[in-house]
Amino acid sequence: MQIKPTVFLITGLSGAGKTLLLQSLEDEGYYTVDNIPPHLIEPFLNILCTSNVKKLAIVSDIRWKNPDKLAELFQNVESLAKCNMEIRKVFLKADKTELINRYKKSRRTHPLGLSLENAIDEEMKVMSEIESYCDIVIDTSSTEPTEFKKRFFQMIKEDMKKLKLNFISFGFKNGIPQISDYVFDVRYLPNPFYFPQMYELTGLDMKVMEFLEKFKETHETVERIANLAKFIQDKYTESGRLEAYFCIGCTGGQHRSVYVAQKVYEILKNEGRDVSINHRDIER
């Protein structure tokens, strides 16, 4: 079954969040193009008919200083496609006070080249017709970027990509991984290292696992880290963050940290979550 291409044609007021939205869609697997002139959108759309790209997001706005051509495009864009595709037109706006504040913070000049207030007034006037042609209109005034992204994906009924959880076991004597976001010290667990029959084994060996599983604190540690990881994955997904690194350490990085990291990884993997595992110091 052939997948119908999806296109988001994005426009709106300068400073209303078009760049943020484009980046968010890129994170979700869309091919993105910013500041494309209206007359080049037709060939971009028709590339989808013969390419492997099936999700496209493009921004065209007042920077090309031809609002009449832009309005014509948004009114008739569906007729430009030479194959069947879903085209959704998005207009972003914000109130004048909010736009002024954003420009002051960014210290950028308005593309119309007028004084800031006059430029915003002029853009609001010339873009009002284009807003009427769009099927998704979002006012981003007083909206945090995280909430804006969450709201948009709810509107289009598309789930944001889940945060990927990367688990790394390590030994403190070899240093904490620089990439770590969260570090857990499990050196309080009983240490198999001091038992001759387990000295040369690792936390992946049955004898070590059976030893550690005799202790209540081992099970509690695994459960607490797993629950925290799931909570963080769910919450950070709403923000659009893509990865987080959970680093679990013991003294040498061969027994306790390996066991705990592996068990947490398996719990989340069995729940269908996006996870990876790396035992950094297991061979040292």
Binding site for GTP: residue ranges?
61-64
DSSP class per residue in 94-118: --HHHHHHHHHHHTPPPTT-S-HHH
HSE (side-chain half, CA atoms, 13 Å) at 232: 20
Instruction: Locate the DSSP E strands across 116-216.
Output: 136-139, 164-171, 182-185
Phi, psi at 65, each rounded to 5°: 50, 35
Pairs from 24-28 (Cβ < 8 Å, separation ≥ 24): 24/149, 24/152, 24/153, 24/240, 25/55, 25/57, 26/57, 27/161, 27/240, 27/242, 28/55, 28/153, 28/158, 28/160, 28/161
Q: Which residues are annotated as a binding site?
A: 12-19, 61-64
- How, if at all, do strands 164-171 and 136-139 pair? unpaired
For residue 161, the Cα-to-chain-centroid distance in whole angstroms is 6
Q: Which residues are annotated as a binding site for ATP?
A: 12-19
Question: CA-to-CA distance for 71 and 105, rounded, in angstroms?
Answer: 30
Question: CA-to-CA distance for 175 and 171, rounded, in angstroms?
Answer: 7
With contact defined as beta carbons under 8 Å apart, do 86 and 76 qualify? no
With contact defined as beta carbons under 8 Å apart, do 198 and 211 qualify? yes
